């Protein structure tokens, strides 16, 4: 008996030591269950953050656009009244009205980190005989980098703000056979065209984006797309990408504009992710239930096995509350010890996963963060599951009639 230890702790641990095999087996069971939960959670969190990170590489969490143009049929006198068929109006490239004022207003919105004005429109990139359809994106580099980290994706040259400087993706550079210092011409549907010098080549890790987007200074794009002084959109970075829709709603409420969050524009991705989270949660719940039932069954058996001892302890003046705590401690300990074992197992699995799940070039398939909070959460959850699982057997033990228990 450990000196100066508490009564409940002493009795609980002696009971567990007495049934050492079943105690170890249930701890192993809890450990395996906990390990699976931690491993799955870490892998799915890694997968999720990886997909999110890759998506938000080239996509702003929120994009503000001018309001959609709608057809307004004229009411006519007479029986015709309203035209039977109204064709939807084609959407012209146009500027956000009073965009500077709106930018300042959005910057003050809670959760917004940065706002970048952008002029964006379709065009063609031509070099020699080669031409490619592109999206011309006019940016103010310093402001834009706060939203999209284009500067960190440069693989050749650099982004400069000269009026004829252009940054293209690796795919487009390859298609046009362009290198740093080469000239290429951008033309638009209106016939405007400008010759640019390739000063930077980026790689977002996405073939489509690398082939499509070209970045030029804001003023150059305004001139090319006939949007002098205006911007076609504003891209917004928020502190929590998953709260983007909430922030978008608050922007929407304050201005008559189209405000699209990446959550809305990637609805399918989020539906898939939600399904995955739900599946993961269900698995966790069922594993947790299995663990709880395992602990509860061991303790129920223990209460039966220890009935006489419980009766003796009650006869000696042990209160019902003390007996209750003896079994709650056992449940809590089994949960906690199991979670420690589970954490070790999960850590081992995760390290194994890291060494196995690699791309062809040897880089990790995706980064799994071994977050301490995950292990802490698992430990607390296991402790709670253990305690909850022990409630019924503990109450049963506490309610035992000492006379009946001693005779048992």
For binding to other proteins (CB under 8 A), which residues are involved? Answer: 1-7, 10, 14-15, 17-18, 308-309, 312-322, 402-403, 406
Do 15 and 330 contact (CB within 8 A), yes or no?
Answer: yes
Residue 358 DSSP label? B
- 258-261 and 62-65 beta bridge pairing: antiparallel
Between 6 and 242, whose beta carbon lies closer to other proteins?
Answer: 6
Minimum CB distance to other proteins smaller for 8 or for 165: 8
* Residue 292: both structure tokens together: 């709880």
- Please say whether the beta carbons of 238 and 113 come within 8 A: yes
Which burial class, exposed, middle or buried, applies to 218 when counting CB atoms under 10 A from its CB (0-12, 13-18, 19+)?
buried
CB of 393 to other proteins, least distance (A): 18
Identify the CA nearest to 55 among candidates 285, 266, 203, 371. 266
Nearer to other proteins, 3 or 108 (CB): 3
15 vs 375, beta carbon nearer other proteins: 15
* Contact of 31 with 342, CB cutoff 8 Å: yes
- Of residues 19 and 230, the one with the C-beta less far from other proteins: 19
Minimum separation from the CB atom of position 14 to other proteins (A): 4
Q: Smallest distance, Å, CB 319 to other proteins?
A: 5
Residue 169 CA to residue 157 CA, distance in Å, equals 12
**Most distant CA pair in the chain: distance in Å?**
102
In whole angstroms, how close is the CB of 338 to other proteins at the nearest point?
Answer: 22
Q: Three-class SS of residue 406?
A: helix
Between 16 and 248, CB nearer to other proteins: 16
Q: What one-character DSSP code corresponds to residue 364?
A: B
Q: Indicate the residue among 252 and 308 with the shorter CB distance to other proteins.
A: 308
- 82 vs 316, which CB is nearer to other proteins? 316
Token look-up 């906690």 returns 336
Q: How far is the CB of 404 from other proteins (least distance, A)?
A: 10
- Between the two ends of the chain, the Cα-to-Cα distance in Å is 27
Closest CB to other proteins among residues 183, 399: 399
Q: In this complex, which beta carbon is closest to other proteins, that of residue 7 or of residue 286?
A: 7
Half-sphere CA count of 13, side-chain side, radius 13 A: 8
Could you tell me the smallest distance in angstroms from the CB atom of residue 21 to other proteins? 15
Q: Smallest distance, Å, CB 24 to other proteins?
A: 16
Task: Tell me how far, at minimum, the Cβ of 332 lies from other proteins, in Å.
Answer: 18
**Least separation in angstroms between CB 384 and other proteins:** 25
- Tell me if 320 sits within 8 A of 399, measured CB to CB: yes
Burial class (CB in 10 A: 0-12, 13-18, 19+), 213: buried
**CA distances from residue 35 to 58, 125, 293, 341 in whole angstroms, order as listed:** 35, 54, 17, 8
Question: What Å distances lie between residue 349 and 36, 156, 172, 210, 235, CA to CA?
Answer: 9, 39, 41, 36, 40
Answer yes or no: are the C-beta atoms of 142 and 183 closer than 8 Å.
Answer: no
| Nearest approach, Cβ of residue 291 and other proteins (Å) | 26
Contact 61, 74 (CB under 8 A): no
Say whether 227 sits in a helix, a strand or coil: coil
């Amino acid at each position: 008996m450990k000196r100066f230890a508490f009564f409940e702790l002493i009795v609980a641990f002696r009971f567990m030591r007495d049934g050492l095999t079943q105690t170890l087996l249930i701890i192993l069971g809890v450990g395996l269950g906990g390990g699976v939960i931690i491993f799955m959670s870490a892998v799915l969190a890694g997968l999720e953050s990886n997909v999110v990170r890759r998506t938000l590489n080239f996509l702003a969490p929120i994009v503000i656009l001018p309001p959609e143009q709608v057809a307004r049929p004229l009411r006519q006198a007479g029986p015709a009244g309203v035209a039977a068929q109204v064709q939807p109006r084609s959407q012209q490239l146009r500027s956000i009205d009073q965009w500077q004022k709106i930018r300042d207003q959005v910057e003050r919105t809670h959760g917004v980190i940065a706002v970048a004005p952008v002029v964006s429109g379709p065009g063609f990139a031509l070099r020699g005989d080669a031409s490619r359809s592109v999206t011309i994106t006019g940016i103010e580099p310093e402001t834009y980098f706060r939203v999209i980290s284009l500067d960190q994706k440069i693989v050749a040259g650099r982004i400069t703000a000269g009026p004829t400087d252009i940054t293209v993706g690796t795919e487009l550079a390859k298609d046009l056979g362009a290198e740093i210092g080469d000239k290429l011409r951008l033309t638009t549907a209106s016939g405007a065209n400008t010759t640019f010098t390739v000063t930077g080549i980026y790689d977002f890790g996405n073939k489509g984006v690398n082939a499509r987007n070209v970045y030029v200074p804001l003023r150059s794009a305004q001139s090319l797309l006939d949007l002098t002084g205006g911007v076609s959109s504003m891209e917004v970075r928020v502190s929590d990408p998953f709260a983007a829709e909430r922030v978008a709603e608050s922007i929407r409420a304050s201005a008559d504009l189209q405000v699209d969050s990446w959550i809305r524009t990637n609805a399918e991705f989020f539906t898939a992710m939600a399904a995955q989270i739900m599946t993961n949660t269900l698995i966790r719940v069922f594993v947790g239930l299995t663990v709880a039932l395992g602990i509860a069954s061991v303790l129920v058996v223990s209460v039966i096995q220890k009935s006489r001892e419980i009766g003796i302890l009650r006869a000696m003046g042990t209160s019902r509350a003390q007996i209750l705590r003896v079994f709650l401690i056992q449940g809590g300990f089994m949960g906690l010890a199991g979670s420690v074992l589970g954490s070790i197992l999960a850590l081992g699995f995760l390290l194994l996963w890291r060494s196995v799940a690699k791309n062809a070039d040897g880089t990790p398939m995706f980064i799994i963060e071994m977050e301490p909070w995950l292990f802490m959460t698992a430990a607390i959850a296991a402790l709670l599951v253990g305690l909850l699982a022990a409630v019924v057997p503990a109450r049963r033990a506490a309610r035992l009639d000492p006379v009946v228990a001693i005779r048992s």
